[in-house]
């Protein structure tokens, strides 16, 4: 039951950010003890650039752990443990167009449309609750959000690595 406030609903749990000293060692432990396996669809994030997460899952990729190697050289904002949710394109674009709406980004500023992150395979917003807990809202309908939000509204997005890295990865994977 909803008790006032926004009609927006966060969506399904997508992944949890986990900091580990060694991704490969952690992946082996999670595989051996808890049945997790790497999710091939997101291999680019683990191999395409330094510091990306290794996505592992025990349920075929429906929910995942994103293993980040703890280091100061990480290309993104210093990664802390956080929870990521995903929603469909309609919900994501509705949320994006409602900004700012009383939610803050990881820098403590009002979350705005230009905080939209392009992860090449999905779009995301990094946000915090009033107590500093970090969340990520993702949408994997990449092309639809690109066309109907990013291009339609001429949104300048945040990128953590050059698009060319993902393009080169896809080209190498297809050959």
174 in any annotated domain: no
Q: What is the pLDDT of residue 33?
A: 79
73 in any annotated domain: yes
Q: What is the pLDDT of residue 29?
A: 86
CB neighbour class for 81 (10 Å; exposed up to 12, middle 13-18, buried from 19): exposed
6 in any annotated domain: no
Q: What is the pLDDT of residue 164?
A: 93
Please give the sequence-ordered ranges of beta strands (E in DSSP) within 100-167, or none if there are none.
117-118, 123-128, 134-139
3-class DSSP state for residue 45? helix
Find tokens 């994006």 and name the residue: 96
The C-alpha angle 36, 54, 13, rounded to 5 degrees, equals 65
Q: What is the pLDDT of residue 152?
A: 97
105 in any annotated domain: yes
Q: What pTM was computed for the model?
A: 0.73
Q: What is the pLDDT of residue 133?
A: 67
67 in any annotated domain: yes
Partners of 128 in the β-ladder: 104, 134
Each residue of 147-166: pLDDT tens digit?
999 999 999 999 998 999 99
2 in any annotated domain: no
Q: What is the pLDDT of residue 70?
A: 76
Each residue of 69-79: pLDDT tens digit?
876 655 444 44
Domain residues for the domain of 147 are 12-169
Q: What is the pLDDT of residue 7?
A: 78
110 in any annotated domain: yes
**What CATH number is attached to the domain comprising 110?**
3.10.180.10
Which stretches in the chain have pLDDT values below 70?
A: 1-6, 71-81, 131, 133
Q: What is the pLDDT of residue 77?
A: 46
Domain count, the chain: 1
Q: What is the pLDDT of residue 22?
A: 87
7 in any annotated domain: no
In this structure, what DSSP letter does residue 157 have?
P
Question: Given the DSSP bridges, would you call strands 64-69 and 54-57 parallel, antiparallel or unpaired?
Answer: antiparallel
Contact yes or no for 65/15 (Cβ under 8 A): yes
Q: What is the pLDDT of residue 4?
A: 59
């Amino acid at each position: 039951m909803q008790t006032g406030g926004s009609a927006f609903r966060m969506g399904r749990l997508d992944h949890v950010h986990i900091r580990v000293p060694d991704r490969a060692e952690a992946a082996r432990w999670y595989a051996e003890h808890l049945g997790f396996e790497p999710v091939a669809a997101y291999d680019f994030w683990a191999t395409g650039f330094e510091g990306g997460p290794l996505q592992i899952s025990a349920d075929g990729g429906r929910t995942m752990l994103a293993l980040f190697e703890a280091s100061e050289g990480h290309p993104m904002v210093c990664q802390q443990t956080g929870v990521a949710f995903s929603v469909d394109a309609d919900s994501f674009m509705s949320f994006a167009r409602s900004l700012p709406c009383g939610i803050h980004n990881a820098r403590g500023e009002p979350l705005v449309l230009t905080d939209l992150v392009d992860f090449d395979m999905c779009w995301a917003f990094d946000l915090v609750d009033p107590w500093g807990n970090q969340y990520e809202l993702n949408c994997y309908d990449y092309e639809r959000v690109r066309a109907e939000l990013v291009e339609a509204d001429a949104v300048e997005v945040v990128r953590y690595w050059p698009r060319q890295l993902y393009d080169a990865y896809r080209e190498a994977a297809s050959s």
